[in-house]
Amino acid sequence: MRIAVTGKAGQVVTSIIERAGAGVEIIALGRPELDLGDLASIAPALAAARPDVVVSAAAYTAVDRAEGEEEAAFAVNAAGPGAVAAAARALGVPVIHISTDYVFDGTKTAPYVESDPVAPLGVYGRSKLAGEEAVIAADPDAVILRTAWVYSPFGANFVKTMLRLAQTREELGVVADQIGNPTSALDIADTVLAVAHRLHSAPDEAPRGIFHMTGNGEGSWADLAEAVFAASAAQGGPWARVRRIATADYPTPAARPANSRLCGDRLAEAYGLRLPAWRDAVKATVARLVAQKDPVA
């Protein structure tokens, strides 16, 4: 099976490349040959890859910067993925698109299910929601996987930031009143690959639509930081004390949902897939980062 993935060096694409097993070839397509901001580049790049499945993983992910770069965020997160889905449809192959918990406003008091009303709080969330709509409009048979709070051994993410800061600081203030599901990009990769196999091998039976795909269990950013430092300390790596602060004490240009929890039952029922417990996944990634010579490079 040949899987074309948008993006060359993101957390999710790098994880998919690492986790693709025997018999799976990943063609990572990014700038310059595939630029989501240049619609004309998309169909030719995908056609040249001759994929069996297309995974739309690339995005404009700078949530705070997006507040001042609305046009760029919408080009890359909405129009671009729409063109990716249209190109996949034209090639006659299924498309899996990655979306986000930021389509919700976080006011629900329970985990969000796929049918809950969307109400993004900022530009990034609005652009990703527009991307979901563009993908479904271009290919009503698309699979959209919403994830959240992604970390990995690759790229920039909260887990690596905590380990880096702990090298020079004894105590860190971390937000304790936003809750969500920390999600390992390596677990996302395993899930995306399993869905891709189903779409390729049994296209008529594989369920379509929107599914929530996050690590199992919930916690706050402060809980995540504490889990990172416990795992790191156990491996002889850097750690710091966590001072639990409120969102109001850590102002950011883009508002974040207070409740980011996504319910994974639909993915479990449709595909038999549930991601591992987030605390176990954090331990595995932190152990790997600490074992590297420069754990936070």
Judge whether 41 and 35 are in contact, CB under 8 Å.
Answer: yes
Q: Looking at 147, 178, 184, 285, which residue binds ligand NAI (CB under 6 A)? A: 147
Task: Say which of 124, 151, 250, 271 is annotated catalytic.
Answer: 124
C-alpha–C-alpha distance, residues 190 and 185, integer Å: 9
C-alpha–C-alpha distance, residues 32 and 284, integer Å: 34
Mark residues 39-58: x for contact with ligand NAI by CB under 6 A, - for none.
------------------xx
> 101, 241, 115: which is closest to 178 by C-alpha?
101
Judged by CB under 6 A, the stretch of 9-17, 85-93, 111-119, 226-234 that binds ligand NAI is 9-17
Residue 114 as a binder of ligand NAI (CB under 6 A): the answer is no
Judged by CB under 6 A, the stretch of 29-37, 83-91, 191-199, 273-281 that binds ligand NAI is 29-37
Q: Tell me whether residue 30 or residue 203 sits nearer to ligand NAI (CB atom).
A: 30
> For the chain, how big is the Rg over CA atoms in Å?
19
Q: Looking at 3, 4, 5, 10, which residue binds ligand NAI (CB under 6 A)? A: 10
Residues between 246 and 285 that touch ligand NAI (CB under 6 A): none
CA distances from 270 to 198, 207, 243 (A): 11, 6, 40
Instruction: Establish whether 102 is a catalytic residue.
Output: no
Judge whether 265 and 211 are in contact, CB under 8 Å.
Answer: no
Mark residues 152-191: x for contact with ligand NAI by CB under 6 A, - for none.
---x------------------------------------
Q: Count of residues binding ligand NAI (CB under 6 A)?
A: 28
Rounded least distance, CB 4 to ligand NAI, Å:
12
Distance from the Cα of residue 151 to its chain's centroid: 8
The three-class DSSP label of residue 20 is coil
Rounded least distance, CB 168 to ligand NAI, Å:
24
Query: Residues with Cβ < 8 Å from 115, sequence gap 6 or more?
Result: none
Find tokens 């699979």 and name the residue: 143
Query: Residues with Cβ < 8 Å from 45, sequence gap 6 or more?
Result: 29, 33, 34
Residues between 57 and 96 that touch ligand NAI (CB under 6 A): 57-61, 76
Residues that bind ligand NAI (CB under 6 A): 6-13, 30-31, 34-37, 57-61, 76, 98, 100, 128, 147-150, 155
Catalytic annotation, residues? 124
